[in-house]
Amino acid sequence: MTEFLRIHHASVVVADSQRALGFYLDILGMQLDPSRPDLGFPGAWLKVGEQQIHLLEVKNPDTVEGRPAHAGRDRHTALQVRGLDELEQRLENAGIPYTRSHSGRKAIFCRDPDGNGIEFVEVGS
């Protein structure tokens, strides 16, 4: 029987890798994973603990119009974090809209420049 252990990576479609990296690296503070080989198209791999987020630069087929304002009601990638208050302040300083979890959990949701939903869930230290 197959045993599913963890998610290795999540792929996120972006229209412009450099613009996306400005968000993920400069605003969120994530780190680039330099192990990405030349795949013949622009993109990047980002470190998320032992997992990754793969940014894939392609013509974005998803419309962002008509999507729920709260990314928790839409497709999204959820990341466990420590230091949620600091991250919230960075989003605030950068003028990035976000919402808090409607469940009362210590979590916030935002969208990247291409409208991809991201959830940040605070975990204990």
Output the DSSP codes for 33-66: -TT----SS-EEEEEETTEEEEEEES------TT
Residue 97 near residue 110, CB atoms below 8 Å: yes
125: confidence class by pLDDT, cuts 50, 70, 90: low
| Domain residue extents for the chain | 9-60+67-122
Query: 25-55 pLDDT, tens per residue?
Result: 999 999 999 999 999 999 999 999 999 999 9
Note the CATH architecture for domain 9-60+67-122.
Roll (3.10)
Residue 93 near residue 61, CB atoms below 8 Å: no
